[in-house]
Structure 1
């Protein structure tokens, strides 16, 4: 009997060890064939868009953040992630990534951002040296998130969850496009996207940073080709006056509150009429910086803001639905008022 028990124990240990060492091959969104563990239990996102993409589908798998969450953000996030360590980022804001620090957290997989601010070759090289597999997600447009979540669902063993998130975003895009897609160019609302504390930085209309404005059927008045993926190009106030925007979307809430009272902006139609709107940003910006799945709600908010008769929306109900689905939190009315004030 003792020999039988020992044999069975060794057999179970052998099977467990075998399973732990099993791998499978996936083709990521860069077309790369990557061998990854059969079961993924720990994940690191090498930049904010990648980390936030993982947060929405499987927050319990994250081993760390790119930047720490602010105190007022934590109440709107799942408790599994709020106190995770900040490990840095391969691209974007925050301190530079320390691959050895990531390795110490024993991730099974690194998720990286394809065609974004990340240097693909540098990302591959950094983690290859540590023996960590990397898969790339294409996340530049909101439409990219639909296949990205289906892919993540397969990779992370969350197929149903990935499909649920992808279906929501696909439906939102379809409804918005149907509502605003036929607006003639000369009838589109003229919008200026104000970035920075003084509102004198912006993004070209063709930039992926400004995509939600285009999707919602407005004319981003700063027509140009982006000089870089980073964006936030400097613009003069005289040029803004000449562009005659009817509405200003402000990244900085302090600028949004003060611009209408600034004498220097009095000749900007949107400032003169008080049509200056701060972009909601808790716990993550609804449109940009970082760009994320939040655009699925943000583009609906914009379509309703720009053309309420074309895209009627119960924003409070949709916001609560979205936060429950993507962020895993139930918003109170007070939460909603604080987010959208």
Structure 2
């Protein structure tokens, strides 16, 4: 009979639990887990070679067990390698099955001898197809639910049990929940009409964005910004096209940009100069080294990102020593101690 054990600090709403499963003599020990999709799966008792099949998953695994990763989804940027943990510096790029980077090649994955695949629950419409795909190379699949920042607190608790890092996972989960609580408490009573009007410019030309109800823009909403592009998310990928004329009419007070070349373009463009935020010079680059603080990929970096945004939007309501908090966060989640020079480079 399998014996069960309790996940440390895991809230009742999380339907991910683990159980030990005795194996027949002569076989590698396995255990049964109930993943975040509610599936019961037999996995190795102590999986050593793990592949995160999508960037949000891989980044989460990187935080808690980088030495168990067999590959990454997209190449690391060379100018940011000093911010990566040494365990991940030489990992091969294996692609992704979630729309970022090149498509996975099953033969290439099999050659890396993984004993566990972790997939991103929110991206897949048909989980069975993902499971069947990796079953062809004989590797079990578990799913992580990573739709919201709240989900990451639960995902760390679950993943901590999978890789035997319960204490570390509990610390990370607690940090995320505390950041969410403090930001929400500081901004909860701001009336909708008084919230800072924000435009999220994702592309080099500034004309790709995402709806206020999209998971891509969740940090803006948590920090009580009014994402001016009000609509329902039409696709998981996002990046909806919009015109400068629409942006002018929506009157953003601040622009968050994901492309460092965009501010220069906006300031030199006769059309963009009609946008309120451009007139006032309020265009802010989103920090992205070594992982993006807000989006693409969405990750636990948002726990730092929402604090940065709340301080940017409402400095008197949410005072924050951004440098000290960044150093604390990078030490806990990324396993690196950053210098003042590193911080300056991250924030440029």
With the length of structure 1 as denominator, give the TM-score of the two structures: 0.93
Question: Match for residue 244 of structure 1?
Answer: 251
Deviation string 1:218-243 (CA, Å, 9 cap, x unpaired) is 10000001110110000011110110
Give me the whole-angstrom Cα distance separating, in 2, the residues matched to 1:131 and 1:266. Answer: 57
Question: Match for residue 92 of structure 1?
Answer: 99
Give me the whole-angstrom Cα distance separating, in 1, the residues matched to 2:307 and 2:99. Answer: 26
Q: 1:113 aligns with which of 115, 120, 134?
A: 120
Shift, 1:101, TM fit:
1.2
Q: Secondary structure at the match of 1:192?
A: strand
Q: Secondary structure at the match of 2:109?
A: helix
Shift, 1:138, TM fit:
0.5
Count matched residues.
Answer: 325
Q: 2:335 aligns with which of 321, 328, 335?
A: 328
2:277 corresponds to 1:270: yes
Q: 1:299 aligns with which of 294, 303, 306?
A: 306
Question: Match for residue 183 of structure 1?
Answer: 190
Q: Kindly indicate whether the alpha-carbon contact (under 8 Å) linking 1:117 and 1:229 is maintained by their aligned counterparts in 2.
A: no
Give me the whole-angstrom Cα distance separating, in 2, the residues matched to 1:163 and 1:20. Answer: 32
Question: Match for residue 75 of structure 2?
Answer: 68
Question: Match for residue 157 of structure 1?
Answer: 164
Deviation string 1:239-275 (CA, Å, 9 cap, x unpaired) is 1011000000001111024322322112110000000
Give me the whole-angstrom Cα distance separating, in 1, the residues matched to 2:81 and 2:111. Answer: 25
Shift, 1:117, TM fit:
5.5
Shift, 1:118, TM fit:
7.2
With the length of structure 2 as denominator, give the TM-score of the two structures: 0.91
Shift, 1:99, TM fit:
1.6
Instruction: Using the TM superposition, name which of 100-109 and 114-123 deviates more.
Output: 114-123
Q: Secondary structure at the match of 1:36?
A: strand
Structure with max Cα Rg: 1
Residues 219 and 137 of structure 1: CA distance in aligned 2, closer, same or farther (over 3 Å):
same
2:122 corresponds to 1:125: no
Deviation >6 Å, runs of 4+? none
Question: Match for residue 317 of structure 2?
Answer: 310
Question: Match for residue 265 of structure 2?
Answer: 258
Give me the whole-angstrom Cα distance separating, in 2, the residues matched to 1:108 and 1:18. Answer: 19
Give me the whole-angstrom Cα distance separating, in 1, the residues matched to 2:81 and 2:252. Answer: 35
Q: 1:139 aligns with which of 131, 135, 146?
A: 146
Q: Secondary structure at the match of 2:157?
A: helix
Shift, 1:125, TM fit:
1.3
Q: Kindly indicate whether the alpha-carbon contact (under 8 Å) linking 1:165 and 1:326 is maintained by their aligned counterparts in 2.
A: yes
Task: Report 1:209-224 matches (<5 A).
Answer: 209-224=216-231
Give me the whole-angstrom Cα distance separating, in 1, the residues matched to 2:322 and 2:289. Answer: 15
Q: Whose helix proportion is higher, 1 or 2?
A: 1
Give me the whole-angstrom Cα distance separating, in 1, the residues matched to 2:111 and 2:86. Answer: 22
- Unaligned ranges ≥5, structure 2: 1-23
Question: Match for residue 110 of structure 2?
Answer: 103
Q: Secondary structure at the match of 1:301?
A: helix
Shift, 1:19, TM fit:
8.2
Q: Kindly indicate whether the alpha-carbon contact (under 8 Å) linking 1:117 and 1:230 is maintained by their aligned counterparts in 2.
A: no
Q: Secondary structure at the match of 1:112?
A: strand
2:30 corresponds to 1:23: yes
